Chain A
Amino acid sequence: MQNFLTALKAEHIKKKGTGLYITAAILGIISPVILTIVNLTNIMHEREQLPYNYFIKFIENCLDPFATFFFPLMIIITVSRITQLDHKNGGWQLMETQPLTKASIYFSKFTVVLTANLISIVSLIGGCYLFGWIISMVNEVPENAALTPALADALLIAARLFIAGLYLTAFQYMISVIMPSFIWSILVGFFLLLAYLFLTAMGIVPEWYPIDVLGKISTYKKGSELGYWFTYSAIVSLLCSLIVLYIGFQWYRHKTLKYAFGTPKRAGMLVGVLAVFGGLLAYTLTPDVMQPYGKTIIAGIIDSDTPINKLYVRDAFINDTIAEIDVKDNKFHYEIKKNMPLDIYQVAIGEAGAINVVMSSNDSLHIAVTKRGQAADAEVTGTRLAENRYKKDNKYSWSSVSYYIQENIGLDDEEKIINELVDEWKEKMNESDNFKTVDNYVPRDDFKMQNKKILTLTYLNLWEDFLKKRTALYPDKETKETPEIAEIRKTVPLNEQGLLSNDEYFNYVSSQITKADTEDISENAKALRAIAKMPVGDFKDKILFKQLEKSIKEASDKKERDSLAVVYTPMFKNERYNNIINYKKEIINKLSKGMEAPLFDAVTMNNQPVSLADFRGKYVAIDVWATWCAPCVYQSPYFEKMAVKYKNNNIQFLAASVDARVDKWLVEAKTKSKSVLQLHIKNEKQFSKDYNAESIPRFILIDPEGNLVNADMPYPSEPVFEQLLRQALGLEEQK
């Protein structure tokens, strides 16, 4: 050990004037500098609405360029330079003719490289604090950003980076010590960097790839979801670096591979090391699966700006409430006794919206909810950790075949589209199979199976679209279903009720059961006809419910709705569906033309109470909106334009806000046009129910008698809005 320390101190004399540590520091600080320039030149709008730490966020933003580029680059350069110092000057022999053990020589130089790594990381983090602070002086700091140092978090990021860097460092070091020419070590290093880009693009980076371990730091900036300091990939890095250090040192010590591992004893040692550490590595890389718990538990904590006293668990199909959970001291714990098939369930957070949770019976989930205003986020852990992470991560992915079919590109080349479709489907299946969380957990098989079916639906529906387009464009050419497509089709059965909460499955089944029906009637009518012929059962109930709901919503008048209900509701086995359909039908009927508009109370900006009834004698156009709703904000100016244009007519334009926070509404409302009367709805929940307002913006037109002209107007940005308005006001059509 004394020997090693002596060697290490001597190494520091040797590296004088090489600027090794300075280079490391510079390559560390580049990322924060770049980010700062970007930040100061374009004002970036932080969309984050939940609280976060300003500095940690800054560091996390730097991890992308640092972890997969500047840090590996720094390692490659440093390792090459420190070994060249001795390759160039005959230093290896010089060192070997000193009273130094070879271990001291090998590992003292390695320690210098590790010190450079550390300096680079410290320089990154320090740079982030420094430049973050400078930006905070120049630009406005978002109100939900905390400016506390959060040193513990920064330290953990630093430690994770350091450990992830060990493997690449050990590997490059081995190459550079063995190969005297600097070209090779640099070449190998850059090859690793480049190959990583290609492998990532193809999605086939092996987990033992030196740069992948670093890549995981930038992919999973927050680290473990389960609260561990280090994830399995840190252990992978450690084990791999131990193996590489062993091989590298033996190789250096005995000069050639033959002498290093050629004798039976040394070969035996190598096999031993590989068996022990390789075995540990294999064990570490084997994914874990969470086992069912035995009871169905939902528990968790809530961090919210408004008090939340109750949570509601609803099924995703008919929004039936499965459980009503009391929240005490921002904590909850509840056992659900009902049977819950594997599906996506909604957990409604008080009145502020809902989060989607994948679960089934016998799962124990922990949900950590953070909520500020309308923004909410939930971290789901527990026995469906991987499943929920998968759903959260896979919101959208680009599909070229979908683009081709949608935009009619290359539809004449049947074979190409089919190949593309099949390839993309296979890729998706692979992706689903290979998904794992940052903590190396994979979804359970039941989820994987179901997920594959859902993913397949996209492609089956694409296939149907393609077929339809082909028939329209090339009626004389028959497009045949290939064996591959048939293979895809086999994945999804036509009678799986568990999938019916998924719209794509519903569309697919509809298209399949109406295929043979060539009569010239609407798709809705065809579907209902086909469903009616199905055998009685849960599946029929569910699909009929979905189709009937859709048909009633899209029906043109009350008469049609009533007759649909009369013909089809008796087919339900389960009375509950019958009731819901009738209820929904009634609401829609109530909102049809000529029905009395439900009244509501509101306040003006001066806090004066107003009722809808106050506007009798005038037409009333209502814009239902909220400050947090981007499409509403987009539509507002068009609505105001109408208000200005028709201010001399017998019509009152109202903007009715459903914001939870009156103060926020007031600030925004004051900036709006005076031609529109700004109101805040008192009981927005009741309002939503009365007007069946599932989403906003929503535009409503009411006549002077207080009856509905149109409860769901098109958006004012579309010309048809003005047409309908003029029609109602009795003005002639614009030319």
Chain B
Amino acid sequence: MTDCIIQTHALNFRFSRHKKVLDNVSLNIPKGSIYGFLGPNGAGKSTTMRLLTGILPEQENAITIFGKPLKEQLPQVFNNVGALVESPALYLHLSGYNNLKYIAKLRNVPESRIAEVLQLVDLAADAKRKVKYYSLGMKQRLAIAITLLNEPDILLLDEPVNGLDPNGMRDIRQLLVKLNKEKGITIFVSSHLLAEIEKMCTHVGIISHGKLKFEGTIEELSKFSGACKIQLTLSNAAEWHERLLAEYPEAVLENTSQVVLELPNREEIPQFTKKLVESGAGIYEIKILNGLEEWFMSLIR
């Protein structure tokens, strides 16, 4: 991949001699992407995130950011990187505004910028309230606002939607996509929810037991995931099931109107439909049953 803004070259990390938390993890995050870093709890996501932010001192010299080793750039690199690790790190005794003011002071950002980011995360109305009275979603948004203060080139977000309700998740998602589109910010976001990642990311990396299992674009992901299961809703389902069995022996009659079968891949769907229609089938609906989910589960098992 060309023009990677963050790269790790066979990153290893061990807490003790025998326990290797990360094993040969090579990540390539292209500039301008939203990179979803996917994995179940305990897979090494947070460790990777903490290594990327330098909170955990690196044991080797495997991380480059903006094309240079991370170690050499700490801590100035945070002038261009916004990071949210083990969220939300906020001072509960301070108001939302003062939390931002604190970081604005540290990052040498003019105070006028505070109102802008508050507007951006839709917290302008609650700015004067103490953070301890905020809801989890508000805290999460404020934490993101903090990372946005000085318009970074990279956002590193650790489980930004963890614990939020569907509305909250959608808000954050939309915010991130908007930031990516409008400001061209590269976003590296970790999550254990495949659906979330699928909905907003352009690139995905999947980690399990400290090993990188997959890395690529969303499209590559679905290709890589192989066979595509579809559900057909059609008239005379039983009859068509008999006829399809010849070519697709694994076809199953789900009920009186639905048949489920597996195509080699997504690209087969138009051809397959055309053939059926031409054979005179009365098709009401063709639905792709998500094979990704199942594949992901098998991958991280």
A: residues with CB less than 8 A from B are 6-7, 9-10, 13-14, 16-18, 85, 88-91, 93-102, 254-255, 259
Contact = CB atoms under 8 A, between A and B. Distances in A.
B113 to A, nearest CB: 15
Contact of A91 (B75, B78, B89): B89
Interface of B: 53-57, 75-79, 81, 83-86, 88-94, 98, 101-103, 105-108, 146
Contact of B105 (A10, A17, A85, A94): A10
Given A7-B106, A96-B54, A16 B85 contact: no
Given A13-B102, A93-B85, A99 B79 contact: yes
Given A89-B89, A97-B55, 4 more contacts: A94-B89, A97-B54, A99-B107, A100-B75
Contacts of A99: 75-79, 106-107
A1 to B, nearest CB: 14
Nearest to A89: B91
A255 B84 CA distance: 20
Nearest to A3: B75
Contacts of B107: 98-99
Closest A-B pairs by Cβ, 7 of them: A90-B89, A94-B89, A97-B83, A10-B105, A99-B78, A13-B102, A98-B106
A98 B78 CA distance: 5
A8 to B, nearest CB: 10
B75 A101 contact: yes
B214 to A, nearest CB: 28
Contacts of A90: 86, 88-90
Given A13-B105, A17-B94, A99-B76, A259 B89 contact: no
Given A13-B98, A18-B93, A97 B57 contact: no
Task: Summarize B's interface: helix, strand, loop or mixed.
Answer: loop
**Which has the most chain A C-beta neighbours within 10 Å: B79, B88, B91, B101?**
B91
Nearest to A254: B57
Contacts of A259: 57
Contacts of B101: 13
Contact of A96 (B53, B76, B81): B53
**Which has the most chain A C-beta neighbours within 10 Å: B84, B92, B101, B106?**
B106
A259 B105 CA distance: 31
Contacts of B93: 16-18, 85
Contacts of A89: 89-92
A262 to B, nearest CB: 12
B89 A6 contact: no
A582 B84 CA distance: 100
A255 B57 CA distance: 8
B92 to A, nearest CB: 6
A662 to B, nearest CB: 71
18 contacts: A13-B98, A14-B91, A14-B102, A16-B93, A17-B93, A89-B90, A89-B92, A90-B86, A90-B90, A94-B90, A97-B78, A97-B81, A98-B78, A99-B75, A99-B79, A100-B75, A100-B78, A100-B106
A6 B108 contact: yes
Nearest to A9: B105
Contacts of A102: 75
A93 B156 CA distance: 13
Contacts of A255: 56-57
Nearest to A86: B91
B57 A6 contact: no
A97 B53 contact: yes
B223 to A, nearest CB: 36
Task: Summarize A's interface: helix, strand, loop or mixed.
Answer: helix
B75 A6 contact: no
B98 A10 contact: no
Given A97-B55, A97-B83, A254-B57, A16 B98 contact: yes
B55 A10 contact: no
A305 to B, nearest CB: 61
B105 to A, nearest CB: 4
A9 B107 CA distance: 12
A91 B103 contact: no
A102 B57 CA distance: 12
A93 B75 contact: no
Nearest to A7: B106
B100 to A, nearest CB: 10
B132 to A, nearest CB: 10
Contacts of B53: 93, 96-97
Contact of B106 (A6, A16, A85): A6
A256 to B, nearest CB: 10
Nearest to B56: A255
A14 B84 CA distance: 18
Given A93-B86, A98-B75, A16 B105 contact: no
A352 to B, nearest CB: 65
A339 to B, nearest CB: 72
Contacts of B103: 10, 94, 98
Contacts of B54: 96-97
**Which has the most chain A C-beta neighbours within 10 Å: B81, B84, B89?**
B89
A254 B55 CA distance: 10
Given A89-B92, A96-B75, A99-B75, A10 B57 contact: no
Nearest to B76: A99
Contacts of B86: 90, 93
A7 B75 CA distance: 13
A85 B98 CA distance: 14
B90 to A, nearest CB: 6
B55 A96 contact: yes
Contacts of B76: 99
Nearest to A102: B75
Contacts of B94: 13-14, 16-17
Contacts of A97: 53-55, 78, 81, 83-85
Contacts of A14: 91, 94, 102
A88 B107 CA distance: 22
A474 to B, nearest CB: 72
A95 B102 CA distance: 10
B127 to A, nearest CB: 15
Contacts of A91: 89, 91
Contacts of B77: 99
Contacts of A95: 106
Contacts of B92: 88-89
A159 B102 CA distance: 32
Given A99-B76, A255-B57, A259-B57, A93 B89 contact: yes
Nearest to B105: A10
**Which has the most chain A C-beta neighbours within 10 Å: B53, B76, B98, B102?**
B102
A266 to B, nearest CB: 12
A10 B108 CA distance: 10
Nearest to A88: B92
A93 B55 contact: yes
Nearest to B59: A259
Contacts of B78: 97-100
B105 A6 contact: yes
B280 to A, nearest CB: 63
Contacts of A254: 57
B65 to A, nearest CB: 13
A453 B301 CA distance: 85
A254 B56 CA distance: 9
**Which has the most chain A C-beta neighbours within 10 Å: B53, B54, B94, B146?**
B94
Contacts of A96: 53-55, 75
B73 to A, nearest CB: 10
Nearest to A85: B91
A254 B54 CA distance: 11
B288 to A, nearest CB: 40
Contacts of A6: 105-106, 108
A22 B101 CA distance: 22
**Which has the most chain B C-beta neighbours within 10 Å: A6, A94, A254?**
A94
A375 to B, nearest CB: 57
Contacts of B98: 13, 16
A97 B56 CA distance: 11
A280 to B, nearest CB: 31
A85 B56 CA distance: 21
